[in-house]
Amino acid sequence: MTVDRDRVTVTTNTASPMGGAFLAGIVSLIVNLIITYVIHYIFPSGDLGWALTLVAITSFFAGFFGYYGAFRQVRTV
């Protein structure tokens, strides 16, 4: 395997990151809700609804701002 160290190609997307960030938030939300629901059967909690609500809020914003921050980081390099 050879690596060309003389040429570096960086592609950036100039579109708004909001669409991708929203999709990343939704995917994170769905995955984490499923994981929380499965863990609930292993370690039962007192209130599953409250746990799912907190996980939904935090996982959506973690995915959203994680994507948005990564988008901005790539654009500044």
Q: What is the pLDDT of residues 27-69, one digit of tens each?
A: 999 999 999 999 999 998 888 999 999 999 999 999 999 998 8
Tell me, yes or no, whether 10 lies in a domain. no
pLDDT at 17: 82
Determine the Cα–Cα distance for residues 70 and 77; give it in Å rounded to an integer.
11
pLDDT at site 30 = 96
> What's the domain count of the chain?
1
Query: How many other C-beta atoms lie within 10 A of the C-beta of residue 4?
Result: 7
Q: Is the pLDDT of residue 70 over 90?
A: no
Residue 3 in domain: no
Residue 36's domain comprises 18-76
In a domain, 45, yes or no: yes
Take residue 15 and report the two structure tokens written for it: 């579109």
Residue 9 lies in a domain: no
Q: Degrees (nearest 5) of the Cα angle 70, 75, 77?
A: 100
Residue 65 lies in a domain: yes
Say yes or no to pLDDT of 6 above 70: no
